Structure 1
Amino acid sequence: MTKKGKTGEKRYADSERLLKEARKEAKYYQSIAEEAGKKRLQEINQLSRLISARNQAEEALRESEEKYRNLVERANDGIAIVQDNLLKYLNPRLAEIGGYTADEVIDTPFTDYVYPDELPKVVDYYNRRMAGDETVSTYETALRHRDGSKIDVEFNTGIITYQEKPAALAIIRDMTERKRLEAQLQQAQKMEALGTLAGGIAHNFNNLLMGIMGNASLMVSETDSAHPNYEKLKNIEKLVDSGSKLTQQLLGYAREGRYEIIPLNLNQLMKETSDTFRATKKEIRVHRELAENLFPIDADQGQIEQVLLNLYVNAADAMPGGGDLFLKTINVTDKDMKGRPYKPKPGNYVLLTVRDTGTGMDKRTTERVFDPFFSTKGLGKGTGLGLA
């Protein structure tokens, strides 16, 4: 073999060797790449699972926040968050209770909405709670409505973390309706006790009157009409009769009277009673605005006449120098009587308005105007029973 042939074979052998080494190295790097790829794929899968878990946690958190937000937003009680003495949150119910919108009160001092008489107590409890002192968490107080009126409420308070800072959480329950029902219950109990007392007095008083009436009648029947004492005896009979009517009023108040409930024309009764009143009180000008086609009312005529005359007399007492008395009637329904301390049954009603230009009544008198026997006229000038 020539030298040139040997050289070619050597080159071929070297190429084969280099090719084998290259293939070996390629497999080596391929194995490394495959291993790295597997690890990378594992890392990607792990990251994907973490992302999925985080998304699920965020969705659960979002659903939880939505659920509690709905609970807070739809709660029947007011809810507020107070931080650094400022209102940071209030739900729609609390805004409704106070007569404000949320935008109006956010970041304003919470003390602006506490009723002035209750402010020292509420501020003291708030400061002590925020300072970590032990204090009551549930107590009754009052808020100030937008129109300035008082709203009886119950506070249930605690401390929470709001935006990484301590804050006071208050759940506020409107106590207006409960207070109204409690007042009605107390009034009913008082009326029941007074009714029992009035009934007992009326029965005993009526027995005395019957004894006087019997003896007076016997004396009248045995006395000649020309005798000087005859008219005095007749006056005794009239006074006893007046006393008997008073006992009937007391028994009626005690629910033991016998009243005749019949359909009445209130306009006609007002015309008759006001004409009588006007004839005796020339200094009082009576103005009547009576609705046409007024609904009839079911009542005892004597009681209604008594109520009307007592209203007229009370008006006259408030206008000793004369004045104007305005009488008005209109038809209404139960839907027109919302926001009242009583709850009327569904149906048609008649609204009677009596207004005068007198001195009026202060708040204390207004609160007691329908209390039996209550009067501001002084001893011997009235019992107040007429409006009971």
Structure 2
Amino acid sequence: MSVDFTVPVVDIGPYVRDDGSPADRARVAAEMDAACRTVGFVQILGHGVPTQVTDGLAGAMDDFFGQDLEVKKTYRTPPHINRGYAPPKSESLSLSLGVEAATRMNDFFEAFNVGAARSDYPAGVTPEDSADDYAENLWPAATAGFDGEAYRAAVQAYFVEARRVARTLTRVFADALDVPADFFATRTDHSLDVLRMNNYALPPGLVDLDGELTGMGEHTDYGIVTVLWADRVAGLQVLDTDGDWHDVSPIEGGLLVNLGDLTARWTNERWMSTLHRVKPPVVDGTIRRRRSAAFFHDGNIDAVISTIGSCIGQDGAHYPDITVGEHIRAKLRGSRAGERNTAAEREAARVLSAKS
């Protein structure tokens, strides 16, 4: 087992601050390249997200998820609409990789999704046939004890900050990969951005486990990069290159960042979309409460993902060209609709080769 496994820490402050020098930015880009080559997960500092914004998000999540399940279920959407509420055990993330889970739809978390809507972009920018991909958000209404307007304001405030961080990261990526500074910007000007707020829905307290329980199944993220805010509570596990799982928690004041499948395709796996999962945070038979919020920066739906020329070695490109839309839709049909993704052979092989 790789007992020395660690998630690198990178301070992206020189890209966030106006006074970041070229030398400081070059150092950050080199550190990011090393982290993406070896782990695929990064702890970032210097991101500039105010504490009051993350505190506001956490409070808003508590307020929404604390409502009665039947109330929350009124905000469900069809599987192809990546918005609204997902109840516990309604999804199976392993199917997004084409891996049959022992029990289909067995992921024991609940979630609420919001995203970039067509109305958020200038008229005519998003393709005509992409209304479902850029669906309008389904915001919860006020109920007794729940302030819908306050919830919306807190979530939108964090969404803006997370999007800024994601776009800053792609600027770092461009320098690290030695591509033009606007390489990612030109492919993300109407990006499919989604914020998924997760609540691991087993109530805190004592529990007797009857068989295996999955918080969130093994998966890679789908797009370019994910920015993750999370409780500092055990549960998130990352797969290393030797096939071992390791516990990962965010450092104080940090955000976790991981690469998505599209970046692995672009870089021909020079950078990997690292497999991860969430196990229920059970310690000595006691469940601890856990929350997270993942911001997925996925790129323009009509952007074509072609392997970067400098990343193609003697073995050629590992992946055919694909559009962002084709890739994301296949992934969502797996996780949300229960259809095994048959176009993820390389990722599925990594799941199946993992040790315990």
Tell me the TM-score normalized by structure 2.
0.18
Q: Which structure has more RCO (C-alpha within 8 Å, separation ≥ 6)?
A: 2
TM-score normalised by L of structure 1: 0.17
| Larger fraction in helix | 1
Larger Rg: 1
